[in-house]
Amino acid sequence: MSFRVSTEQIDDVAVLQCRGRVVDPDALSRLKAAVTGLLQLRVVVLDLSGVEMVDARGLGMLVFLHNWACAKGIQVKLVNPSKLVREMLEVTRLTSVLHVSSVDDLVEMFCNHIVRSKTPTGLRLNSFLMRRSVG
């Protein structure tokens, strides 16, 4: 399966759903362009549940995106990595550098923020995340 990424952005939060194999230059370029092409972000969520395989270059791209985001004041969250991806992150000890969460952790984090803010954006984000966790 080739690599695909779809993006949904609500104000300053973007969720990118990744599917396929992050192992070739084309996949790496698509992932990099999908993240770095987004504007006015606070949080980028990479949903890795559909990623079947990642190699050293793919892990390197995740580190690059993490560093790029940190330099711009953006948080990157890796969510629901597949079993293989999680194992690769653990074996390489990248879990100590990259923020890896479950969908439930992410929903809880955003819900706590939304409860405090109760802004229209927060309410739309809450609705979006609840649809994601159910689907």
pLDDT digits over 93-127, tens only?
A: 999 999 998 777 666 666 655 545 555 555 555 56
Q: Is residue 117 part of a domain?
A: no
CATH code of the domain covering residue 9: 3.30.750.24
pLDDT at 70 over 80: yes
Are 28 and 51 contacting, i.e. CB atoms less than 8 angstroms apart? no
- pTM here is 0.79
Domain, as residue range, for 45: 4-102
**What domain count does the chain have?**
1
Q: E strand or H helix at 70, and its extent?
A: helix 56-71
112 occurs within a structural domain: no
> Looking at the domain assignment, is residue 88 inside a domain?
yes
Tokens of 21: 């194999």
Per DSSP, the three-state class of 84 is helix
